Amino acid sequence: MRGPHNLWRLIRTAGTFEKTGAMDVVLDQLNAPRELRIAARVLGWPFKWLGFAGDPALPPVTRAITALGPSYIKLGQILSTRPDFVGDELALQLRVLQDKLPPFPTDQAKAMIEADLEVPLSSIFSEFSDPVAAASIAQVHQARLVGDGRKVAVKVLRPGIARAFRRDIDAFYLGARVIEMLSSSARRLRPMDVIAHFDETVQQELDLRTEAAAAGEFAANTARDEGFRVPGVEWSLSGRAVMTLDWEEGVQMADLAAIDAAGHDRAALSERVIAMFLRHALRDGYFHADMHQGNLKVAPNGDIVALDFGIMGRLDEYTRRVYAEILMGFIRKDYRRVAEVHFEAGYVPADRDIDLFAQALRSVGEPIFGMDASRISMGRLLAYLFEVTERFGMETRTELILLQRTMVVVEGVARTLNPHMNLWTAAGPEVERYIRENLGPRALVRDLGKTLRVLSRFGPHLPRAVEDALRRPDPKVAEVARRRAAGRPWLWFGAGVVVASGVAALLQVL
């Protein structure tokens, strides 16, 4: 769908930003160069009359994005996770974007369910309500299953939403190209990559099988977490355009009066929200990346229930260890160790001065730890940390930015429940537990075991690989193969050393 019509979409977008007063805010926050400002004015000012007025009660940027529709709302939500790209203040404004839209007719939802599942709706649901929630991509209905009468939540994609998103995403790519062409400073932040990430995220959300899989994986990871649960997936009633989950009773996390009326301990809930998020991020490397109040419920028994699994975050094992060591270093005020971790991980170029970097880290930590414990923010700590590491040449790491953004949201939820919450009371035990289990002798034994498993998989293939190489007519290849064959005893010797080291470490643990 690429073509001149995308220019029309950019013109209407620029006109809307001019009409709502959002253009100046965005250009200032991006610290846009002269060339980009001129291009924005050329696209926007003459066509201001074509723009949407939006809701005057909203701030300019939120007003413009909401008026432009679902694709822009989703893009704004994604950009809120990239303060490195849009700036801290604009990212903060974008975080409050709500994707609540008018619902589409229930009859259309029923028709989509029957088309996707290829069964009559009356054969699977004895009851089917009008929409109970409607967002930019899908809406949710409450239903009862035929047979056992269980309540379920049925999420249905908006009709035509995939085509609408595809059309707008093409225009976003054009806009990113224009920005890269006109701004060398913006080029460093790779706008095309930002849109590509948005494209990938949206494509996942447009296939509800992907969200169902995310819910299933998250439920499996957290099954033994006391006080936290995830709705089960009804796989036989889920497809590309439909997802069916167990219905979870409870009150919304944002409804403090209802939480109090139900007799729940808000202080305990606030600490559990923080602890669960860190446990999932560190222990599992898979966390809910959209944990605002609207996606959390408090069940009648006090459990926290997570909903909506369209945006999830992942951290590989090595990144988790680095992250945990950085947090623990700050908690212990061991800034030299925090600096060493950054250098060891390759986050900061090796030619930088480690002592100057440790000193800069102290400037991050000391002001925060000088605060009252109830005012300490891990999200703010990470934000300051990224500012310092950027000055020392650290490249943008989107997975850590998503983690930081989610941490800010989760802290906001926790402090809404209990404004006097002590963050370290909730976070400290989780970080310490992870370090104890993953950075000590037991972790060494596990790592050695994984190394041996990898070597054992390659072992049976080595003799055949050497024989094949020796049979080749090329004398250079044959010579290389003979040298490898000659070195095979050293390979087994090395494996023996690894085994011996593992046994020694295990004995040390025991």
Strand residues in 293-340 grouped as ranges (E): 296-298, 304-306, 312-314
pLDDT higher at 210 or 311: 210
For residue 508, name the pLDDT band (cuts at 50, 70, 90).
Answer: very low
Query: Residue written as tokens 């170029």?
Result: 349
CA 60 from chain center: how many Å? Answer: 26
CA dist 500 → 169, 190, 453, 492, 495 (Å): 56, 47, 15, 12, 9
Least confident of 96-105, 247-256, 405-414, 467-476: 467-476
Q: What is the pLDDT of residue 458?
A: 66
Q: What is the pLDDT of residue 509?
A: 41
Q: What is the pLDDT of residue 39?
A: 73
CA dihedral 444, 446, 448, 449 (to 10 degrees): 160
State the distance between the two ends of the chain, measured CA to CA, in whole angstroms: 63
Q: What is the pLDDT of residue 84?
A: 59
Residues 6 or more apart from 48 whose CB is under 8 A from it?
A: 15, 18, 19
Residues 6 or more apart from 212 whose CB is under 8 A from it?
A: 233, 235, 238, 243
pLDDT digits (tens, 9 = 90+) for 415-471: 889 888 877 777 778 888 888 777 766 666 666 766 666 666 666 766 777 667 666
- Across 336-359, average pLDDT: 88
Q: Is the pLDDT of residue 494 over 50?
A: no
SS3 219: helix
Strand residues in 85-192 grouped as ranges (E): 125-134, 138-145, 151-157
Query: What sign does the CA torsion over 215, 216, 221, 225 have?
Result: positive
pTM of the complete model:
0.73
- What the block records as the tokens of 411 is 């802290």
Q: What is the pLDDT of residue 289?
A: 87
- 3 state SS for 10-36: HHHHHHHHHHHCHHHHHHHHCCCCHHH
Do 81 and 401 meet the contact criterion of CB atoms below 8 Å apart?
yes
Q: Which residue from 203, 138, 199, 205 is spatially nearest to 172, judged by alpha carbons?
A: 199
- Measured CA to CA, the distance from residue 347 to residue 337 in angstroms comes to 14
Residues 6 or more apart from 396 whose CB is under 8 A from it?
A: 84, 189, 390
Q: Which residue from 495, 398, 498 is spatially nearest to 448, judged by alpha carbons?
A: 498
Query: What sign does the CA torsion over 366, 397, 291, 278 have?
Result: negative
Q: Is the pLDDT of residue 237 over 90?
A: yes
Mean pLDDT of the chain: 79
pLDDT higher at 82 or 166: 166
pLDDT higher at 498 or 298: 298
pLDDT higher at 203 or 224: 224
Q: What is the pLDDT of residue 22?
A: 76
pLDDT higher at 477 or 197: 197
- What the block records as the tokens of 302 is 């006090």
Q: What is the pLDDT of residue 72?
A: 82
- Given the residues 290, 316, 468, 474, the one annotated as active site: 290
Do 217 and 235 meet the contact criterion of CB atoms below 8 Å apart?
no
- Measured CA to CA, the distance from residue 208 to residue 241 in angstroms comes to 6
How many Cα atoms sit within 13 Å of 425 on the Cβ side? 14
Query: Residue written as tokens 């643990």?
Result: 509
Least confident of 142-146, 157-161, 366-370: 366-370
Q: Where are the domains of the chain?
A: 5-99+162-204, 105-158+207-247, 251-437, 441-509
Q: What is the pLDDT of residue 370?
A: 65
Q: What is the pLDDT of residue 420?
A: 83
Q: Is the pLDDT of residue 235 over 90?
A: yes
pLDDT higher at 145 or 66: 145
Residues 6 or more apart from 150 whose CB is under 8 A from it?
A: 144, 246, 247
Residue 138 pairs in a beta bridge with 157
- Measured CA to CA, the distance from residue 305 to residue 296 in angstroms comes to 6
Q: Is the pLDDT of residue 505 over 50?
A: no
- Look at the domain 105-158+207-247 and name its fold: Phosphorylase Kinase; domain 1 (3.30.200)
Residues 6 or more apart from 339 whose CB is under 8 A from it?
A: 354, 355, 357, 358, 361
Least confident of 69-78, 300-309, 316-325, 476-485: 476-485
CA 2 from chain center: how many Å? Answer: 29
- Across 475-485, average pLDDT: 52
For residue 160, name the pLDDT band (cuts at 50, 70, 90).
Answer: confident
Catalytic status, residue 290: yes
Q: Is the pLDDT of residue 342 over 70?
A: yes
- Measured CA to CA, the distance from residue 496 to residue 378 in angstroms comes to 44
- Measured CA to CA, the distance from residue 510 to residue 508 in angstroms comes to 5
Q: Which residue from 428, 439, 330 is spatially nearest to 388, judged by alpha carbons?
A: 330
CA 305 from chain center: how many Å? Answer: 19
- What the block records as the tokens of 278 is 């860190």
Q: What is the pLDDT of residue 277?
A: 93
SS3 421: coil
Query: Residue written as tokens 């037991």?
Result: 442
Q: What is the pLDDT of residue 502?
A: 45
